[in-house]
Amino acid sequence: MKTLIKSATIIDASSEYHLQTKDILIENGTIIQIDDVINESVSNEINLPNLHVSQGWFDSSVSFGEPGYEERETLENGLLTAAKSGFTSIAVNSNTKPVSDSKSAISFLSSKAIGNAVNLFPIGAMTMKSESVDLAEMYDMHTGGAIAFGDYKVPVSNPNLLKIALLYAQNFGGLIQSFPHEKKIAGKGVVHEEANATRLGLKGIPALAESLQVARDLFILEYTGGKLHIPTISTEASVKAIKEAKAKGLDVTCSVAIHNLFFTDAVLDNFNSNFKVLPPLRTENEVTILREAVLDGTIDFVTSDHMPIDIENKKLEFDLAEYGTLGLETAFGALNKLFGAEKAVTLLINSKERFGIPSNTIQVGSKAELSLFNPGESFVFTSKHIYSSTKNSAFIGSKLQGKAYGIYNNNQLVTF
């Protein structure tokens, strides 16, 4: 079966066709021709306004619901949401019920995505039931397809566990994730601790709760060696500590959630629980520093940190609502507005190497794994743009720049 993509501007710095507008002919999932104009009788022709294509996007932190929380999101609809949002690959977190802390749980997640247009890569829990007491069966999960190990939004309270995990994972090249949050410092806080929290009467989470945990984890990494990823940092001190660790030669990467780049805690005035996220939204100064760290490479990549929450657990008083926001649908539009199309694409693909995900350059002979998008369309994001089963998006009402059309991957075309 042949598919012809017409007049697409290619954004792929590793391709000889970077920033050129070309026709792309695909047969049975492989790119067989790229030229100015291709006249070919095909089964599918893709001809869309201001069409741009890039290597397929990857999100390193996605949560759905299944198994255990199907009322939030099923794997089937979650994968469809990812595809319509432009993602060809996603890493799915371990916060299922039961927690994904065994080879059988990892195999279940992988099996649900067989034959799908989107590649699903499970992240295994680092500790049993994500309770930070006993290490999970990491090697077994590794053989079952887990690409990393971490307890989603659960900090490693026992530093010796992190030490042992980093040492043990070196036997098979495993990547350890440690969520940067010191619970005892954070206490009962729900937003960033500063003047705005006091004005609103909300308990604050000190920036120290994050930076203290980051500093601890980096000291442990320096002692053990191994590979560490620190997900969703949000403070100036974290940026500084990670930059210094990289200068020492430590094998550490970090990410930032897109909403922590896009919003400040000034949006909390109306107590909209969609803005209740962890780590919390920070001040304008912190957001500026995070954006600069993205541009200079201290922050290695971004994530949507997509987290569907059902209305019963989200539409509550701010203190009682659960943490989390949708992010897949708005990832490109937010990043494109902040950084422009080329940088946005780079940020959406450059985490693949860290997680061992293969990349496919846009060239003849390569697998066709493509994200399709229009970077030029400016629009206000509303609930009608949400593909997820839940509607807990912090971006509702925000002006974004650029929309994903969908993907071509695994010999399948999915568009919204």
The SS3 assignment for 165 reads helix
Tokens read off for 326: 């949708």
Tokens read off for 128: 């049993």
CB distance 196 to 180 below 8 Å: no
CB distance 123 to 146 below 8 Å: yes
* pLDDT score, position 264: 97
CB distance 83 to 72 below 8 Å: no
Q: Cα–Cα distance between 318 and 272 in angstroms, integer?
A: 7
The SS3 assignment for 89 reads strand
The SS3 assignment for 295 reads helix
Cis upstream peptide for 279 (omega within 30°): yes
Q: Cα–Cα distance between 104 and 112 in angstroms, integer?
A: 12
Tokens read off for 356: 């061992």
* Cross-strand partners of 301: 255
This prediction's pTM: 0.96
Show pLDDT as tens, one digit a residue, over the chain (416 residues).
Answer: 899 999 999 999 999 999 999 999 999 999 999 999 999 989 899 999 999 999 999 999 999 999 999 999 999 999 999 999 999 999 999 999 999 999 999 999 999 999 999 999 999 999 999 999 999 999 999 999 999 999 999 999 999 999 999 999 999 999 999 999 999 999 999 999 999 999 999 999 999 999 999 999 999 999 999 999 999 999 999 999 999 999 999 999 999 999 999 999 999 999 999 999 999 999 999 999 999 999 999 999 999 999 999 999 999 999 999 999 999 999 999 999 999 999 999 999 999 999 999 999 999 999 999 999 999 989 999 999 999 999 999 999 999 999 999 999 999 999 98
Tokens read off for 220: 């442990």
Q: Which residues are catalytic?
A: 305
* pLDDT score, position 409: 98
Q: 56-349 maps to which CATH number?
A: 3.20.20.140
Q: Cα–Cα distance between 151 and 131 in angstroms, integer?
A: 8
